């Protein structure tokens, strides 16, 4: 199973389990995670959700071969959109445990989590511009809100990777811990939350996120529109072709 799910003691754990492909995410994996989140939302026994990877890798982002096979569907209807809507709309606390690389959607999804714990080997990146695309799932709004405009501009425009300590200093990450201890630490934090009054957690989360709610959905729709249009443009085609041909893309011929 490429996505593992487990419920115990009020905690729903969703774990990437495709290490041989660096946990690159397929449409089927997004659907499995979306279904797990929807189930967790409806299950009163679930009080906290943890999203985790392996000690060596969180996720390399989209599986590009699978991703390009599924570009015919409307962006908003794809399993990835179902997953992100379920994550963004979750009323229950969501903890992310990130070790190793968190590429593209692997970093975007963190902005919709409540607590983000990083292993000391974590490496974040949002290389959308490098792929001829644009930010996704309200990250163009949420990232500047979290880290400030100039820092967000540097990471989103250049698309370069940044490490755990910088992510902590910017406010994207709640705490940095040794990678080997990360998942156990996240589970321990989840257990603390699970022992608290569930209604208080839900109301507190709702109050903190209230002002963002409608704006996030509006920005998701706007980004999805641009993302879908750019996906079929020459720049993206050049970026993906260069990726599969293992060469550097040449964007100088595009204005």
Please tell me the total count of domains within the chain.
1
Domain hosting 15: range is 1-178+197-255
Query: Which token pair is 192?
Result: 């603390």
CATH at 166 = 3.90.226.10
Check residue 25 and give its pLDDT. 98
Within-domain flag for 189:
no
pLDDT tens digits, one per residue of 229-247: 998 899 999 999 998 999 9
Determine, yes or no, domain membership for 186. no
Percent with pLDDT over 70 in the chain: 98
Instruction: Note the pTM of the prediction, 2 decimals.
Output: 0.94
Name the one residue in this structure whose structure tokens are 């550097």: 248
**Whole-number Cα distances in Å, 185 to 46, 98, 122, 241:** 19, 11, 15, 41
> Does residue 187 lie within any of the structural domains?
no
Question: Does residue 74 lie within any of the structural domains?
Answer: yes
**pLDDT tens digits, 51-76:** 999 999 999 999 988 888 876 556 66
Residue with tokens 């999203």: 51
What pLDDT, on a 0 to 100 scale, did the predictor assign at position 177? 98
Domain presence at residue 65:
yes
Q: How far apart are CA 125 and CA 117, in angstroms?
A: 16
- What single DSSP character describes residue 252? T
Q: Is the pLDDT of residue 158 over 70?
A: yes
User: Would you state the pLDDT for residue 212?
Assistant: 80
Torsion angle, alpha carbons of 188, 190, 193, 194, to 10: -100
Does residue 173 belong to any structural domain of this protein?
yes
Q: What angle do CA 244, 122, 210 make, to 5 degrees?
A: 100
Per the structure block, which two tokens stand in for 151?
A: 């820092």
Count, residues in the chain: 255
191 falls within a domain:
no
Place of tokens 């257990």: 191
Compute the distance between CA of residue 205 and CA of residue 169 in angstroms, rounded to an integer.
23
pLDDT for res 86? 97
- The more confidently predicted of residues 10 and 255 is 10
Is 111 within the bounds of a domain? yes
DSSP 23-82: TPBPHHHHHHHHHHHHHHHH-TT--EEEEE--SSEEE--B-HHHHHHTTTS-GGGSHHHH
Q: Exposed/middle/buried for 5, CB within 10 Å: 0-12, 13-18, 19+?
A: middle
């Amino acid at each position: 199973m490429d996505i593992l799910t487990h419920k115990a003691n009020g905690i729903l754990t969703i774990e990437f389990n495709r290490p041989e492909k660096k946990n690159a995410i397929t449409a089927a994996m997004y659907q499995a995670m979306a279904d797990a989140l929807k189930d967790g939302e409806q299950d009163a026994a679930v009080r906290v959700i943890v999203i985790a990877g392996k000690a060596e890798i969180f996720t390399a982002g989209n599986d590009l071969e699978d991703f390009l096979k599924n570009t015919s569907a409307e962006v908003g209807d794809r399993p990835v959109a179902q997953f992100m809507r379920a994550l963004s709309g979750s009323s229950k606390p969501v903890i992310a445990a990130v070790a190793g690389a968190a590429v593209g959607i692997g970093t975007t999804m963190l902005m919709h989590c409540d607590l983000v714990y990083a292993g000391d080997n974590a490496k974040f990146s949002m290389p959308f511009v490098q792929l001829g695309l644009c930010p996704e799932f309200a990250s163009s709004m949420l990232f500047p809100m979290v880290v400030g405009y100039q820092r967000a501009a540097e990471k989103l425009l250049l698309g370069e990777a940044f490490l755990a300590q910088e992510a902590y200093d910017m406010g994207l990450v709640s705490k940095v811990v040794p990678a080997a201890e990360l998942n156990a630490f996240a589970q321990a934090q989840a257990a603390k939350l699970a022992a608290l009054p569930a209604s208080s957690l839900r109301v507190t989360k709702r109050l903190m996120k209230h002002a963002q709610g409608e704006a996030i959905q509006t920005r998701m729709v706007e980004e999805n529109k641009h993302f879908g249009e750019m996906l079929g443009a020459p720049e993206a085609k050049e970026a993906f072709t260069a990726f599969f041909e293992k060469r550097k893309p040449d964007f100088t011929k595009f204005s």
